Amino acid sequence: MSQFDNVSVVKKANVYFDGKCVSHSIVLADGSKKSVGVILPSSLTFNTGAPEIMEVIAGECRVKLAGESEAKTYKAGESFTVPGDSSFDIEVTSTLHYVCHFG
Amino acid sequence: MSQFDNVSVVKKANVYFDGKCVSHSIVLADGSKKSVGVILPSSLTFNTGAPEIMEVIAGECRVKLAGESEAKTYKAGESFTVPGDSSFDIEVTSTLHYVCHFG
């Protein structure tokens, strides 16, 4: 599925790390919250509040979750899960298009 | 209105100018197409295919349409209209959040 249907989209984006990460928040009909976003090639550390699942739509990244010793590579069609109140290091090697699923 | 309701959102973003402009395409219930996006501080020239209305949600820019001699400043709540098959120079002085209305 290349798109979400019947959702609400917040017009103002979320801009992180001087624009290296830009996302738009969406709310599905069942009330669940997600964001659709892009991370430009860079090495960044994200902190999580709520747990989240990062689904890669296009591009490629290497991700090391807090407490893990080794980074893993994720490509289109793959996902990784981040616990709440945690963090992950991400190296984006090819512009990353993602959907972030919360909760 | 800070959000669009009952729309479809394409998961993969549109990335222009090495990521200085990132947008997501949306389709409203009536079939009309728009995009929600961000332009980072920069000076860029955009070409238009279809006519478009650029609505500023947040941030600030100076815009000079093709054939005009002077740039005008646009802020949150303001819009400018670009003819089809034309272009405009935009200088973003504060990260621009926008909605682009097509057709």
Q: Tell me the domains of chain B and their CATH numbers.
A: 9-102 (2.60.120.10)
Question: Distance between CA atoms of B47 and A81, rounded to whole angstroms?
Answer: 40
Indicate yes or no: CB of B11 within 8 angstroms of CB of A3. Answer: yes
Question: Distance between CA atoms of B30 and B81, rounded to whole angstroms?
Answer: 21
How big is the A-B interface in CB pairs under 8 Å? 88
Burial, A68: exposed, middle or buried (Cβ in 10 Å; 0-12, 13-18, 19+)? exposed
Predicted confidence at residue B6, as pLDDT, reads 97
A55 pLDDT more than 80: yes
pLDDT tens string B27-63: 999 999 999 999 999 999 999 999 999 999 999 999 9
Mean pLDDT (whole number) for A51-60: 98
pLDDT tens string B14-32: 999 999 999 999 999 999 9
Q: Tell me which chain B residues have a C-beta less than 8 angstroms from the C-beta of A59.
A: none
Predicted confidence at residue A63, as pLDDT, reads 98
Please, which pLDDT band fits residue B10 given cuts at 50, 70 and 90?
very high
Question: Which of A9, A24, A58 is the closest to B12 by Cβ?
Answer: A58
Predicted confidence at residue A76, as pLDDT, reads 98
Predicted confidence at residue B15, as pLDDT, reads 98
Predicted confidence at residue A1, as pLDDT, reads 85
A59 pLDDT more than 90: yes
Please, which pLDDT band fits residue B1 given cuts at 50, 70 and 90?
confident
Burial, B80: exposed, middle or buried (Cβ in 10 Å; 0-12, 13-18, 19+)? middle
Question: Chain-centre distance of CA B48, in angstroms?
Answer: 11
Q: What is this model's ipTM?
A: 0.95
